[in-house]
Structure 1
Amino acid sequence: MHMNGPVKISREERLQICHEIASRLHEVYGDRIVAIGVYGSVSRGTDGPFSDIEMLCVLSVSESSESIEFSYEWLAGPWKAEVNVCSAEILLKTASTVEGRWPLTHGPFFSQLSLYDPEGFFPKLIEAAESPTKGDFRRAIHEVLVGEIYEFVGKLRNVSLNGPRTYLPYLAVQFAQYGAMLVGLHNQKLFSTGAMVLPEALEMPNRPDGFDNVARMVMSGELGEPSKIVSACENFWNGLENWANEHDYVIYSKRIPF
């Protein structure tokens, strides 16, 4: 049967493509290249037959040039590739920063498969990624609680009153996804891949009450009963408030904090 889009490619073929891309990067950027690596499932050795290719090209910056941060992303028919081209100082700064999706976004900084690294940049990248303090994680948790989850609660209650209830399954997914980010941030643990966020979060300690129910509901796909979604998400929010108080994470501030 003819299949459009991705086709099965062996790991050996995929690695060969990575080396071909690296060779082309050397042709384009020459002596400016600090390091080239592969990240994602390919670097971890968990790539499947239809996995895409994700690579990083690190560049130096001279006094006459500006910092660079962009991506090449393309389809070659049977496979897809993305190459992030980034100045070394930008990458180090990003690696040392904690934001709300840190448990999912920062894995690549720890798991580069090096194709070219004559000056030992990737160990420096790991060192930068290990540098955030507990305070950095606390701030990220606050941002998720206030900037994401609290807004979802408001939307949940609006939909409960006025509809459309077709929006509820999407909200349940958001509650589960960002709840998992909170669990990962609290434990300072990374998720291995996007597909494993919920099951891996369920294995971590110190989960807020109500999270497990929402996560399992989403994983099962049983999102057809609006009343169950509303009840599960409201219970999770109550659990989050108690969890935040227990761990001294601030949700509420004075009426106007500035």
Structure 2
Amino acid sequence: MNINGPMKMSRSERLQTCHEIAERLHEVYGERIIAIGVYGSVSRGTDGPFSDIEMFCVLGEPSESSTPIEFSYEWSSGPWKAEVNVCSADVLLENASTVDGEWPLTHGPFFAPLCLYDPKGFFPTLKEAAESPTKEDFRHAINETLVGEMYEFIGKLRNIHLNGPHTYLPYLAMQFAQYGAMLVGLHNRKLFTTGAMVLPEALELPNLPDGFDDVARMVMSGELTDSSRIVAACERFWSGLEEWAVENGYVIHTARIPF
């Protein structure tokens, strides 16, 4: 049989495969399993003919002498691909309650997995954990992203504008757009539905920093060959971010040495 990457599969076939994987998980982990669920496009009902399978396998609390479990099986059978995240309940709950710079893209699975097995009602508890972060948690994640990503990007942009190579500018523009969208999502506590929709969904949100629109639309259009245009758009966005941070009480600049 000649297999060249993912092949078309119907939703019913994909769901049947999910159940087969769940059966195998029960064989491997037995009574240690407290919940199995599907996340991603399959859980949302938006999977396409070539979509992969993403699942949780949640294990009971470890004993005091054992190490919390967190790892993934990720494989391709040939015509389809699957990933199963196997983790202790406490690990998954902690992950769900943590806010980081990519929260708008990574935390959707914690809110509405497609349940295949959950006799003790773990998934509602997981949703409660995902809803638990405070305004200060989001503010901290925004501050970290402004400094840890955006400040570094503008430094790299200025270095490249002076010294090259300009071939790196399109990638930087994409980074500006992606992490700009994360900032907007964090500010609005908005979860994006999928990676493919991050930029268009971010553009629909309120309180956008000045310049984000231009960078995002430039990236979505693929018009990334004009180096001077990229530099100008990203510089305008950076200025907009500095103003936006002041207006909303976020912090980019601190004391010279804050410790």
What CA distance in whole angstroms lies between the structure 2 residues aligned with 1:256 and 1:240? 22
- In structure 1, the gaps of 5 or more residues are none
Q: What's the C-alpha RMSD, in Å, of the aligned pairs?
A: 0.8
Q: Superposition pairs for residues 106-255 of structure 1, below 5 Å?
A: 106-255=107-256
What CA distance in whole angstroms lies between the structure 1 residues aligned with 2:177 and 2:164? 21
What CA distance in whole angstroms lies between the structure 1 residues aligned with 2:220 and 2:4? 28
Letter in 1 for 2:221: S
What CA distance in whole angstroms lies between the structure 1 residues aligned with 2:133 and 2:116? 27
What CA distance in whole angstroms lies between the structure 1 residues aligned with 2:75 and 2:91? 23
Q: What SS does the aligned partner of 2:51 have?
A: coil
What CA distance in whole angstroms lies between the structure 1 residues aligned with 2:159 and 2:38? 44
What CA distance in whole angstroms lies between the structure 1 residues aligned with 2:213 and 2:64? 52
Q: What SS does the aligned partner of 1:176 have?
A: helix
Deviation at 1:87, TM superposition (A): 0.4
Answer with 83-92 or 55-64: which moved more.
55-64
Deviations 1:23-42 (A, max 9, x none): 00000000100100000000
Deviation at 1:111, TM superposition (A): 1.7
Distance 1:189 1:63, change over 3 A: same
- In structure 2, the gaps of 5 or more residues are none
Deviation at 1:62, TM superposition (A): 2.7
Structure 1 residue ranges (4+ consecutive) displaced by more than 3 angstroms after TM superposition: none
Q: What SS does the aligned partner of 1:84 have?
A: strand
Letter in 1 for 2:163: N
TM-score normalised per structure 2: 0.98
2:52 aligns with 52
Deviation at 1:65, TM superposition (A): 2.9
What CA distance in whole angstroms lies between the structure 2 residues aligned with 1:3 and 1:195? 26
1:35 aligns with 35
Letter in 2 for 1:235: R
What CA distance in whole angstroms lies between the structure 1 residues aligned with 2:203 and 2:3? 36
Deviations 1:21-71 (A, max 9, x none): 000000000010010000000000000000000000000123443210000
What CA distance in whole angstroms lies between the structure 2 residues aligned with 1:250 and 1:66? 37
What CA distance in whole angstroms lies between the structure 1 residues aligned with 2:67 and 2:227? 52
2:24 aligns with 24
Deviation at 1:3, TM superposition (A): 6.2
Letter in 2 for 1:38: V
What CA distance in whole angstroms lies between the structure 2 residues aligned with 1:73 and 1:3? 18
What CA distance in whole angstroms lies between the structure 1 residues aligned with 2:3 and 2:84? 25
What CA distance in whole angstroms lies between the structure 2 residues aligned with 1:31 and 1:170? 47
What CA distance in whole angstroms lies between the structure 1 residues aligned with 2:105 and 2:11? 23
What CA distance in whole angstroms lies between the structure 1 residues aligned with 2:4 and 2:235? 43
Deviation at 1:78, TM superposition (A): 0.4
The 8 Å contact of residues 3 and 78 in structure 2, kept in 1 or not, is answered as no
What CA distance in whole angstroms lies between the structure 1 residues aligned with 2:174 and 2:229? 13
Q: What SS does the aligned partner of 1:72 have?
A: strand
Q: What SS does the aligned partner of 1:57 have?
A: strand
